[in-house]
Amino acid sequence: MGNSYFSFKQFTINQNNCAMKVTTDACLFGAWANSKIQSTEPLLDIGAGTGLLSLMLSQNRSVKVDAIEIESACHGQLCLNIDGSPFNSSINPILGDIKDWETDRPYQTIVSNPPFYEKQLRSDQASVNLARHADGLTLHSLFFHAKRLMSSQGFFYILMPFYRKAECLEMASQFELFPASIADVKQSPFHDPFRVMIQFSARTDNTEIETIIIKKNASDYADAFKLLLEQYYVNL
């Protein structure tokens, strides 16, 4: 998925000006979140990047999306991808910092595929560091602003490396956000989990737990993966 563009059934993601490209796990996250979202209230995409999540969540649903991105070149790409999609009238691309974003009406749904890494090796490209590293938006800051901007009955969806799962759950509990659903993601039945997708809520209900496998063998996607992605991937 390192090409300058990636085509889906209903939209195309151009990504040559964004440090973080379309990835299989990000596509799975968008499809997984979309399968759980029932509200048609406006939603917020924090760190929208290329617009992948905003576009996926706009498919087959009439919903207004605020897509906020801090990096200017990536925001330009975000605007291009939105303008070229069938959902251009419903997605609002915002150049800005989530720390400064205010709204008169809390969001029922917030999604984020945030910077993964804190206190790790840096690239010599500032845009890559901003996209990959959490110096500008730490996990603590992300949960603070998600809780600040979501409604009391809302949900916050996040994709993280599996090794940060416990840290993520602990951080959420500090803001009285609790896991409604947790999905560990494995490349194959023979691999350990490498990503985790979590749906948080302010309510302390039972947690739905699952494991999603991307490929059942070297050439075939797993059935659960295909079921989630078939409305997006061209070849499914």
Enter the pTM of the model: 0.91
Angstrom distances, CA of residue 192 to CA of 65, 163, 187, 218? 34, 11, 8, 16
DSSP result, 58-114: HTTS---EEEEE--HHHHHHHHHHHHTSTTTTTEEEEES-GGG---SS-EEEEEE--
Count CB-CB contacts under 10 A for residue 224. 17
Ranges of residues in the chain whose predicted pLDDT is under 50: 1, 119-134
Domain boundaries, the chain: 5-229
Condensed to tens digits (0 to 9), the pLDDT of residues 207-233 reads 999 999 999 998 999 999 999 999 999
Closest CA to 183 of 152, 222, 135: 222
pLDDT at 116 (0 to 100) = 72
> Using an 8 Å Cβ cutoff, are 167 and 149 in contact?
no
Condensed to tens digits (0 to 9), the pLDDT of residues 95-119 reads 999 999 999 999 999 999 997 765 4
pLDDT at 124 (0 to 100) = 44
pLDDT at 118 (0 to 100) = 54
The set of residues, in sequence order, having a beta carbon less than 8 Å from that of 137 and lying 6+ positions away, is 46, 47, 70, 98, 99, 114, 115
pLDDT at 121 (0 to 100) = 43
pLDDT at 61 (0 to 100) = 87
pLDDT at 143 (0 to 100) = 97
Provide the residue type at 95 as one letter.
L
pLDDT at 132 (0 to 100) = 45
Task: Identify the CATH assignment for 5-229 out of 3.20.20.140, 3.40.50.1370, 3.40.50.300, 3.40.50.150.
Answer: 3.40.50.150
